[in-house]
Amino acid sequence: MKITSFEATTLNIPEDDPLANMPEEEGRTRPVVILRLRTDNGIEGIGLTFYGGKMTGSLRKAVDELAELTIGEDPMRIEHITRKLRLAAGDSAGPGGIFMLAISAIDIALWDIKGKALDQPLWKLLGGHRDRVPTYASGSLRRGLTDNQAQRAAQILVQKGFTEMKTQMALPGNPTVAEEVRRVRVVREAIGPDIKLMCDINQRWRPEQAIDIGSRIADVGLFWLEDVTAHDDYAGLARVTAALSTPIAGGEYVWGIVPFRHMIEARSVDIVMVDIVRVGGVTQWMKVAGMAEAFNLPIVSHVMPEILVHVVAAAPNGLTVEYMPWMLALYEETPAIENGMLVLPNKPGLGLKFDEKAVAAFRAG
Ligand SMILES: [Mg+2]
């Protein structure tokens, strides 16, 4: 089998909130580059990438330039292909940033091809540890909402059957410690004691602030506190992790696999979170999962549940899947949620098909 052609397309996907219908701002869109990689036996693998922001044109160009280098290659030899791309561009234009975002789209598409060629769903190819995994609602309980909106949104998520959900602190403006503490208590009150509640800080606190506020809310029983300070302040994170009884999650902001070594060795986090397009795709995501397992740490996903459900289900230390609905509208069908668990698909590869009507509607320019 050989790769014969590819097609990359830039889309603008609405940033709405399909889970609780509580968008922070109406009409915002998120730019995404989707990739179709085609082979001489008729298999088409799909991949995608984003975080290009105003540089999404450059990201799209990078995907085109790297995908061009895969033509004629055997798609089953994924490490061989990505090594070729690294030698061609990554050694000078990488290892992070646009290069890594682009190579990740290709790696994801190659795994989709491999699954389709072997007629196996990705999660089974990667280890097949479980056929359903816990998931948590994300993206609804954001810091920009009022207390009332956050409470209503939380109740809607519970009514929809979610048993885990994530909110945010580090409120906008210049909140007092009391205001920060009040927000997370208000959300906890709305959902009761039995729902697992995570809280994301998105790097907005100082380590000492994280220890102060984190210790005041120990009784809220958070499942984790996420990205409490700058993602690469491994020593600062380790200080917070050692000081608090609440587990600390982090890792979505780092590039490639090597920073995870330093983060884990420094005991900076209790729960390792890996973003698939910043780490280098499916191949590299699974390597970090193995690294975390050796250190007795659970691993969790970041966004795109329709793809990440495969890797979390494959890994024995996979904890839960972030159900962030950003890209769901792109596909004809995405994995179902039953009793708060995502059900793994049995279709080959990613088990996803682009909804061509949606792709046409979101097409940029
Ligand atoms: Mg986060």
Contact 79, 106 (CB under 8 A): no
Contact 165, 197 (CB under 8 A): yes
Q: What is the CA(194)–ligand 1 centre distance, in A? A: 22
Q: What is the CA(202)–ligand 1 centre distance, in A? A: 6
The stretches of 160-257 forming alpha helices (DSSP H) are 177-191, 207-216, 234-243
Q: What is the Cα–Cα distance from 228 to 212, expressed in whole angstroms?
A: 12
Q: What is the CA(80)–ligand 1 centre distance, in A? A: 32
Residues around ion ligand 1, judged by CB within 5 A, are: 200, 226
Question: Which CATH number is associated with domain 123-343?
Answer: 3.20.20.120
Question: Which CATH number is associated with domain 3-119+356-362?
Answer: 3.30.390.10
Q: What is the CA(2)–ligand 1 centre distance, in A? A: 38
Among 280, 337, 332, residue whose Cα is nearest residue 311: 280
Q: What is the CA(213)–ligand 1 centre distance, in A? A: 18
Q: Residue 20: its pLDDT value, please?
A: 87
Residue 280, Ramachandran bin (φ over 0: left; ψ between -120 and 50: alpha; else beta):
left
| Per-position pLDDT tens, the chain of length 365 | 999 999 999 999 998 888 888 777 778 899 999 999 999 999 999 999 999 999 999 999 999 999 999 999 999 999 999 999 999 987 888 889 999 999 999 999 999 999 999 999 999 999 999 999 999 999 999 999 999 999 999 999 999 999 999 999 999 999 999 999 999 999 999 999 999 999 999 999 999 999 999 999 999 999 999 999 999 999 999 999 999 999 999 999 999 999 999 999 999 999 999 999 999 999 999 999 999 999 999 999 999 999 999 999 999 999 999 999 999 999 999 999 999 999 999 999 999 999 999 999 999 97
Q: What is the CA(135)–ligand 1 centre distance, in A? A: 15
Contacts 24+ apart (CB under 8 A), 97-100: 97/255, 98/52, 98/55, 98/58, 98/59, 98/62, 99/62, 100/255, 100/256, 100/277, 100/278, 100/279, 100/280
Contact 111, 122 (CB under 8 A): yes
Secondary structure element (H or E) that encloses residue 197, with its range? strand 196-200
Q: What is the CA(274)–ligand 1 centre distance, in A? A: 10
Contact 273, 251 (CB under 8 A): yes
Q: What is the CA(117)–ligand 1 centre distance, in A? A: 34
Rg of the chain, C-alpha, whole Å? 20
Q: For the chain, what is the mean pLDDT? A: 96
Contact 121, 348 (CB under 8 A): yes
Q: What is the CA(79)–ligand 1 centre distance, in A? A: 29
* Domain extents in the chain: 3-119+356-362, 123-343
Per-residue pLDDT tens for 244-270?
Answer: 999 999 999 999 999 999 999 999 999
Q: What is the CA(311)–ligand 1 centre distance, in A? A: 18
What's the whole-model pTM score?
0.97
Token pair of 275 as six digits: 């973003």
